Amino acid sequence: MSVKLILLGPPGSGKGTQGALLGKFYGIPEISTGDMLRQAVAEGSELGKRVQGILTKGQLVPDDVMVSLVEERVSREDCAQGFILDGFPRTVDQARALERVLPGGIDAVVYLRVPREEVIARLAGRLTCRRCGAVYAKTDSSLCQVCGGDLYQRDDDLRSTVEHRLRVYEEHTAPLVGYYRTLDKVREFDGSGPVEEVARRVEAGIARVIA
Ligand code: AMP
């Protein structure tokens, strides 16, 4: 069985957290394009140098760069049983390109709905592990409970950038909900409330699609 899912929702809607849980549940990789880009920046690779300024400002990396990055990633061995994409596609053009790359298409889009005010509060108060990318609310300890790495506030989680990222989301990414609705792929979930509760709702909803 192969499971190919896309996570959709504004920044801060819990895509990374829910994607990691779903990935564990199905035994498939959760692929975060944001994590891939941040890693490239940390390594100082050619790609990293090219995208660093774009990430800091909360803008979008050009579609062609993203499509080749994802095309290469999903062709790897560990994606043979499927994958969960977090942060890609982010534009309708990326979604069209993904269809060309994946002949069978995806199984479903997990769309997490969270009120705008809650998203702003979550992002402006969130800390991320420098080593493994796990995220925490600001009041937690300064060390990652998963791997012991340092927690830091992402440049693009500063309040001014958060509002900009939300505008970018609304303009470029939110139209994807309509795009995938016409393909009857969207499964919509209430993303507010405790992580475990959201995870239960998502797992039950997706099990119905995959079965
Ligand atoms: P994320 O961790 O998903 O919030 O992504 C962090 C940043 O990486 C975004 O604000 C963009 O600058 C960039 N990024 C990640 N995925 C994409 C994508 N599919 N297309 C364009 N830019 C992206």
Sheet of strand 126-129, all strands in order from the earlier edge strand to the far edge: 135-137, 126-129, 151-152
Residue 71 is encoded by which pair of tokens?
Answer: 């095309």
The verdict on residue 132 lying in a domain is no
Marked catalytic residue, from 15, 122, 185, 187: 15
The verdict on residue 139 lying in a domain is no
Is residue 20 within 8 Å of residue 84, measured between CB atoms? Answer: no
**Does the pLDDT value for residue 18 go beyond 70?**
yes
Distance 34 CA to ligand 1 centre (A): 5
Is residue 72 within 8 Å of residue 31, measured between CB atoms? Answer: no
For a mutational test of ligand 1's pocket, the pick from 37, 68, 88, 167, i.e. the residue with the most ligand atoms closer than 8 A to its C-beta, is 37
| pLDDT recorded at residue 210 | 80
Number of domains within the chain: 1
| Omega of the bond leading into 115 within 30 degrees of 0 (cis) | no
The verdict on residue 66 lying in a domain is yes
| pLDDT recorded at residue 6 | 98
Domain that holds residue 46: 3-114+172-210
Is residue 39 within 8 Å of residue 73, measured between CB atoms? Answer: no
| Residue nearest to ligand 1 atom 12, measured at CA | 55
Q: What is the pLDDT of residues 113-169, one digit of tens each?
A: 999 989 998 888 889 999 999 899 876 688 999 999 999 999 888 888 889 999 999
The verdict on residue 27 lying in a domain is yes
Distance 99 CA to ligand 1 centre (A): 19
What CATH number is associated with residue 177? 3.40.50.300
The verdict on residue 119 lying in a domain is no
| Residue nearest to ligand 1 atom 14, measured at CA | 34
Give the least confident one: 50-54, 137-141, 143-147, 181-185.
Answer: 137-141
The verdict on residue 194 lying in a domain is yes
The verdict on residue 162 lying in a domain is no
| Ligand 1 pocket, residues with Cβ under 6 angstroms | 11, 33-34, 37, 54-55, 58-61, 66, 87-88, 90, 94, 156, 165
Between the alpha carbon of residue 57 and those of residues 14, 53, 63, 81, the distances in Å are 21, 6, 17, 35
Q: How far apart are CA 66 and CA 63, in angstroms?
A: 5
The verdict on residue 190 lying in a domain is yes
